[in-house]
A and B are shown apart, each in its own frame.
Chain A
């Protein structure tokens, strides 16, 4: 059974087959954790999100219909939705348009260490509205196509593209001092 594809295993899970569920959850746990952590922002909450997501898959396995949809689309949808819910419960959710302003937190004149750069990038991504951060996580880090990511987030492809463009603009704007520094102050 370990060689079975996701959709076959999901069919077994729908009949209450715990062994199939164990294979499926083990197969997708690491990537789900990575995705959840990118959206929710910390390891502990990501673990809660992923556990809840897999529990939902177990309890609602009967709702799964193998009509051409990929299991991972369903899984990532649950993970992303749960991660966004989790984050909203924990903190104030910035408005979709609120991130366009540049942040003056990084001084272009100051040489920054790798660690500081990573922290600045994390901050820039963390400042994104939830849906923009989810879009960036799915398309840039998880390398899903816009069409696949739009299915996960249940939006149109054009809405997905818009989320991506806005996310990258915000990140670019907030990290502009670092980009200028890298270019030697050309721009």
Chain B
């Protein structure tokens, strides 16, 4: 980004994004930002406001993570791990997936055979035979228009 392209608007956008410390802005824009800052009252006002927001953000409560707390969490984590099965390597998981294929395939074949037997024994009512091909495909739309079958 050249100095010519670096407007106060862009400066303001960067300040809103990265805050009032130009040292924390991305490398390529730091130089042009400092140059603009030196010659623009508007840029200085923008940066002052961003610094004020930073100063307040710095006043937020800092989560306290003492050594004792960390050890307590690690101990609980360790307990939970001890009660778990060891991780299954992904390669083995893939193998397991393949092995599970056979019960599924067996079930599907059994269901197919059962379906064939039910149909063959005449337990299910068979639909009336269609008189011709177009009557099977034809019909009447919701709007009442007949199509294909009566052509």
Residues of A within 8 A of B (CB): 14, 16, 18, 21-22, 25-26, 29-30, 33-34, 37-38, 43, 46-47, 50-51, 54-55, 58-63, 114, 117-118, 121-122, 124-125, 136, 139-141, 143, 145-146, 161, 164-165, 168-169, 171-172, 175, 178-179, 182-183, 187
Contacts of B61 in A (CB 8 A): 118, 121-122
Measured in the bound complex, the distance between the Cα atoms of B80 and A187 in whole Å is 54
Residues of B within 8 A of A55 (CB): 77, 80-81, 84
Q: Are A161 and B73 in contact (CB under 8 A)?
A: no
A182 touches B63 (CB 8 A): no
Chain B interface mostly helix, strand, loop or mixed? helix
A146 to B17, CA, bound (A): 9
Q: Given A51-B77, A55-B81, A169-B16, are A30 and B65 neighbors across the interface (CB < 8 Å)?
A: yes
By a CB distance below 8 angstroms, the chain A residues around B80 are 51, 55
B59 beta carbon closer than 8 Å to chain A? yes
Q: Is B106 an interface residue (CB 8 A)?
A: no
Q: Mark B54-65, 1 if CB is under 8 A from A, else 0.
A: 111101111111
Tell me how far the C-beta of B96 lies from the nearest C-beta in chain A, rounded to whole angstroms.
Answer: 13
Check if A182 sits within 8 Å of B17, measured CB to CB: no
* A interface majority secondary structure: helix
Tell me whether B63 and A175 are in contact (CB under 8 A). Answer: no
Quick one: CB contact mask for B80-100 with A, threshold 8 Å, 1 for yes? 110010111111010000000
**A25 and B77 contact, CB distance less than 8 A:** yes
Inside 8 A of B113's CB, which chain A residues have their CB?
none
Whether the pair A16, B76 counts as a contact (CB closer than 8 A) is no
B39: A residues at CB distance < 8 A = none
Complex: how many Å from CA A182 to CA B54? 13
The 6 A-B pairs of least Cβ separation, nearest first, read: A62-B90, A37-B63, A121-B60, A30-B65, A179-B52, A165-B16
